[in-house]
Amino acid sequence: MSERHKDPEADDEAGRPCFSLNPVQDRHLWVLDKLTTAVYSLNDREGTLQYRMQRGLYDLIAVHPDDLPQDLRDKFQVIRNTMGKIALTMTDREAQEVISTLIFLRNEMERRLQPE
């Protein structure tokens, strides 16, 4: 059995919760991972803002609003709706609004998953 499965409540070295046998928490950890990957794509220095948006939104294709806590779903739906619009046609202002929402969601998911 792996170290991770010996104690499902254990945290990793950085104090972040590890995947457990709790399906809701595991789903939220998965969403946090996807949001983090998308934010890293946006922070990459290569390419235009719109190109980085396209890459970041691609990281979120598998995430559905139901994967997030109820009170964050509307904010994520804004991002999902944007995914229907080609990121390359967004204005810088539209892209910045989506990026701000994405960063908020990522930080909020991380905050909620921290042990109390």
Count other C-beta atoms under 10 Å from residue 60's C-beta: 21
**77-42-60-107 Cα dihedral, nearest 10 degrees:** -60
pLDDT digits (tens, 9 = 90+) for 56-94: 888 898 999 999 999 999 999 988 887 767 666 778 788
The pLDDT confidence band at residue 18, using thresholds 50, 70 and 90, is low
* Residue 13 three-state SS: coil
Q: How far apart are CA 93 and CA 113, in angstroms?
A: 31
pTM of this prediction? 0.73
| Residue that has been written with the tokens 């609003």 in this structure | 65
Q: Which of 31, 29, 35 is nearest to 11 (CA)?
A: 29
Banded pLDDT at 4 (limits 50, 70, 90): very low
Query: By the 8 A CB rule, do 101 and 5 touch?
Result: no
Residue 2 scores a pLDDT above 90:
no
pLDDT digits (tens, 9 = 90+) for 20-61: 677 888 899 999 999 999 998 888 778 887 778 888 888 898
Kindly indicate the confidence band of residue 15, based on its pLDDT and cuts at 50, 70 and 90: low
